[in-house]
Structure 1
Amino acid sequence: MAEKKLSDEFKAIEQKWKPMPIEESIKMYESWSDKYDSDMDVWQYDSPKGTAVRFSELNLPKDINILDCGAGTGLLAIYLKQFGYQNIDALDGCEKMLEKAREKNLYSRYFVSFVGPTIQLPFLSDTYDALVMCGVFTPGHFPVQVGTFEQLLRVVKKGGILSWGMADPEHYADRDPAYANDGFNKLIEQLKSKNLIEVVKDHPKELPSVQPKKRYFWAVRKL
């Protein structure tokens, strides 16, 4: 059996993790969509599984309404469903990635939108009990700004959960100044000082992972 290898698209894209215009990010994922799942399998990308594990540990009711934000091809939803969560909607900035998720019949509804501080998401306020994300806080993806979190929090019900899995922010410090000098943790402190969130006890937690670089799961509650 031939050994599986990472695609040329992955090798090229791996060098592009840096701040970029929305249009460039979407184009990047459009070109990658057909090989994305295969590459993640070869790369042993297990952050979606780890994020679902940590999300399940919050012990939220199984019938809550969840938004998987930055859903891509649905790798996170596969595991959320294994933990019994069924009412999941998908949001992603790349329609071609969502088409791959549709083929797996993972979500109740699909929405196309990028996420940023000036982009109003296509939902009414206070729609979801929980919003969960994986891999979206990395250079070239969701902007690390207070406004980005305000847009995300708007669609979460008061008392609801905003959660995400991500690499150690310092891992990106040399690629994106927003992550340098403890920038991500300072952003969380800003959100707390504005009385927008409270961090769920004992978070962030390290994600279970076979990969050598540390990854973390954050859970905050909307105030």
Structure 2
Amino acid sequence: MSEQNNNKLSDEFVKIEQKWKPMPIEKSIQMYSEWSEKYDSDMDVWQYDSPQGTATRFTELNLPKESKILDCGAGTGLLSHFLKPFGYTNIDALDGCEKMLEKAKKKDLYRNYFISFVGPDITLPMEEATYDAIVMCGIFTPGHFPIAYGTFVQLLRVIKKGGILSWGMADPEHYAEVDPSYANKNFENLIKKLVEDKVFEIVDGHPKELPTVQPKKRFFYAVRKL
């Protein structure tokens, strides 16, 4: 990539990342509702390749192709767009913004659609132990899923025992100055606590770095429900 193109990418990166800040649920819904028409084109300009990298790393887990999967924080379906060519088609979508899911529906990527936010006090609208795996991308970001023990408990409730919870995200320390919940290695310490409490175990070799052209490193996490 030329220096000129790299500078352009960095400028777009800054513009998009200015949106990531702590905010109430209502503000987040408003932001994504207003953004839904341009979201995919903005991600193209930004060369947002984390969904593709997350899909690639997810397939390396070698789960059966018929696995029932929840794309949590699905948005317009960018992640599942890249999962489908790998043969994963038994996928449901969950997102807190109805207008984003309306865009996803036009792509014919999912079996079912659910509208819900995710948080420690929000029971997801699925039965317990429904899914073999959850896969997510860009959801542990300021203004999105709360960094809380209960958030993971709610996600794991709908995963079968032995199932996989996985996600792609930027280095947690990258957000420390923007959102206090990421400061002082809070995210890493939360993962350690969940492991110590035998809520889940980390899949060997994870987290793995995502392949990306973006200025900041990104990682893929995979844990197994105990």
Q: Could you say whether these structures have the same fold, taking a TM-score greater than 0.5 normalized by the shorter chain as the test? A: yes
AA in 2 matched with 1:111: F
CA distance in structure 1 between the aligned counterparts of 2:124 and 2:85, rounded to whole angstroms: 27
- Residue aligning to 1:149: 152
- CA shift, 1:15, in A, is 2.3
TM-fit CA distance, 1:14: 3.7
| Structure-2 residue corresponding to 1:204 | 207
Q: Does 1:94 align with 2:89?
A: no
Runs of 4+ in 1 over 6 A off after TM superposition: 10-13
Could you tell me which of 15, 18, 24 is aligned with 2:18?
15
Superposed, 1:102-141 pairs within 5 Å as 102-141=105-144
* 2:197 equivalent to 1:194: yes
Q: Does 1:55 align with 2:87?
A: no
Asked whether the 8 Å contact 1:133–1:165 carries over to 2, the reply is yes
* Structure 2 gap segments, 5+ residues each: 1-7
What do the CA deviations read for 1:175-217 (whole angstroms, capped 9, x no partner)?
1111111111001011111110000001000001111210000
Alignment correspondent of 2:169? 166
Deviation of 1:13 after TM superposition, in Å, equals 6.2
Q: CA RMSD in A?
A: 1.5
In structure 1, the partner of 2:185 is 182
2:215 is paired with a residue whose SS is: coil
* Other structure's SS at 2:165 match: strand
Decide which of 28, 43, 50 is 1:25's aligned counterpart: 28
Q: Secondary structure at the match of 1:16?
A: coil
Query: Which position in structure 2 is the counterpart of 1:37?
Result: 40
Structure 2 Cα separation of the partners of residues 174 and 56 of structure 1: 33
Partner of 1:84: 87
Tell me, yes or no, if the aligned pair for 1:13 and 1:28 is still in contact at 8 Å: no
Contact 1:124 1:155 in 2 (8 A): yes
Q: Given residue 212 of structure 1, which amino acid in structure 2 is its aligned partner?
A: P
CA distance, structure 1, for counterparts of residue 54 and residue 14 of structure 2? 25
SS in 1 for 2:18: helix
Instruction: State the shift of 1:49 in Å.
Output: 0.1
What residue identity is the alignment partner of 1:151?
Q
Q: CA deviation at 1:12?
A: 7.0
- For residues 45-64 of structure 1, give each alpha carbon's deviation from its aligned partner in whole angstroms, at most 9, with x where no partner exists: 00000000000000000000
> Partner residue of 1:75?
78
Q: Is 1:204–1:217's contact at 8 Å kept on the other side of the alignment?
A: yes
**How many residues are matched?**
216
- 1:11 deviates by 7.9
Matched, 1:221 2:191: no
Q: Which amino acid aligns with 1:185?
A: E
